Amino acid sequence: MLRRFLSAAILSTLVACVSPCQQGPSDEITQPQTGEGAGDDNALPSKHVMFIIPNFRTSPSLENYEPITPAEKFKVAWEDTWDRGTFALTFIVAGESQLTNSNRAFGQGAAGFGQYVGAAYADFAIGNFMTEAIFPTILHQDPRYFRRGTGSGLSRLRYCVGQIFITHGDSGRTQFNFSEVVGNSTAVAISEAYYRDNRTAKDAGSALALQLGVDTFSNILKEFWPDMERKFRRKHAGQELADNK
């Protein structure tokens, strides 16, 4: 069920964003914003994508690249983990998992739901710290997503997918994204301690593939959400202008 939701969400995002998105250099996001989702077209990325998904590790561009310190990497993981959006997503995932009875050992009812919530939040927290803080610090890799912001929709889509496997080291050079792949693999391995019904190699492989798919979808949203925000703001402003006439 979650996989079907992810596929449908990716498809709807592509239909809404990719085909019409064609930006020039003047559209690049470079200036700070004064409030979440507010400001002009050249604002820094909102702290939340779609008003709920945490977006603390997106950088507007690679221009004048400067690495972040280990403390900053842990701060990013901390902000992503303790954000209200993470808690909201935790309850959504836990509810879906209980409805599909994905882990029979957790049971049903309030007690079972509590275990689903704990497991879902552990997945988010462990995954965040493994991919955004611990492995990036050990491997000297940058955990941030750098928006491209220009080019055709399809070229930007390829860029989004590529960032799952290619990242930047603290030196600024591109390299294989071990932090993403190994970090998520480690998180999946740890999760076997509390997912008692899903401890086979097949289950682990499916969980890793799902997590990489979720992160790919997250990259797509981070890349195209500012375009959608601008479109929504302009449409809303145009409607207000028409209403005031």
| Chain segment 117-147, per-residue pLDDT in tens | 999 999 999 999 999 999 999 999 999 999 9
pTM for this entry: 0.77
Q: Residue 59 has what pLDDT?
A: 86
DSSP helix/strand/coil, 68? coil
Looking at the DSSP assignment, which residues form a beta bridge with residue 145?
58
3-state helix, strand, coil in the chain (%, to 5): 60, 10, 30
**What are the residue ranges spanned by the domains of the chain?**
68-240
pLDDT mean over 203-212: 90
Q: What's the pLDDT tens digit per position in 2-43? A: 444 444 444 444 444 554 454 444 343 333 333 444 444 445
> Using alpha carbons only, how large is the chain's radius of gyration in Å?
19
Tokens of 210: 């799902």
Q: pLDDT: is 33 or 153 the higher one?
A: 153
Q: Which of 150, 181, 183, 188 is nearest to 166 (CA)?
A: 181
Query: What is the C-alpha to C-alpha distance for residues 71 and 54, in angstroms, rounded to an integer?
Result: 19
CA terminus-to-terminus distance, the chain: 47
